[in-house]
Chain A
């Protein structure tokens, strides 16, 4: 329990620091600034992974709970969604395929196949 509370306190403190920076000078969202601060402080050893591991796992594991209230808000969006259904679905599909396929192809080209993967297939196709 102590471990969890300590972890949550650290994560919240970093988030608040990120928000403060966002409000004062940096145009990147506070949460993402916090992520970068957090990543940096683990790389440099200022924060230890084991201090925050349980709290991070809890937050990530139950993230779906955290966006329930916003999703319920779709009930007010019925108008926009039905009027723009085509644009929304087309943009979703086109962009999804574009990202998936360009990333897959780029990664196959730039990252060398590893021994445990079916390397033959990847190389033959290159």
Chain B
């Protein structure tokens, strides 16, 4: 059996991906600054380059994992429901805020890329960059962007928020728990939300609600947008 046949086999590529992910988690446990998503990809890319196989060969199996992003999106309803119960009284106003956040995020991301002369598919890949990965990918595909590029931007938006979010909000005098949660959930999805867990329960509750809601609003606005650009 040659390398191509082995890598193209779903059992091999899924198995290798799971193993790399497990290894990356272990490294992340020891050295917190190592992002699992980057570390998990390195051995896979290295192997493909080494045996001179194209990405498509690996992705025949990889697609089996990517498919599960759909059910993962559905599962976001659980934190949204649970945290929604805790926030009942302020939910309508929170929804309005997150809706505006979704619109601002899409307009400014697409607008900036457009002003700088980026090609159409790059502009469209930037549009859903504030929302959680599975939803961002679906919106990106629907608009005709490049999912891989969207993922990279989504991750960077998450890391920026987790690292500098609370500090930047502090600079403009925003300290209140629910405001910080809403801002981080809308701008930095799951990665931002995870960074708040250690800070305050209210912040992470609002943040995980805002992250799911921002994803829903972005996909509604994305569906609308896809009508106009077709």
A and B form one complex: yes
Residues of chain A having any CB pair with chain B under 8 Å:
8, 11-12, 14-15, 18-19, 27-32, 34-39, 42-43, 49, 52-53, 55-57, 59-60, 62-77, 80-81, 84, 86-88, 90-108, 110-111, 113-114, 116-119, 121-122, 125
Smallest CB-CB A-B distances: 3 pairs: A69-B62, A31-B73, A29-B138
Q: Are B105 and A97 in contact (CB under 8 A)?
A: no
Q: Are B75 and A105 in contact (CB under 8 A)?
A: no
Q: Are A66 and B69 in contact (CB under 8 A)?
A: yes
Q: Are A38 and B77 in contact (CB under 8 A)?
A: yes
Chain A at the B interface: SS class: helix
Task: Tell me the total A-B contact number using a CB cutoff of 8 A.
Answer: 338
Known: A66-B69, A100-B184, A103-B98. A92 touches B176 (CB 8 A): no
Interface size on B, residues (CB 8 A): 109
Cβ-closest chain A residue relative to B174: A104
Residue from A72, A106, A107 within 8 A of B41 (CB atoms): A72
Cβ-closest chain B residue relative to A125: B173
Cβ-closest chain B residue relative to A113: B176
A35 to B129, CA, bound (A): 19
Residues of B within 8 A of A68 (CB): 17, 20-21, 37, 40-41, 44, 62, 65
- Is B144 an interface residue when CB atoms closer than 8 A count as contact? no
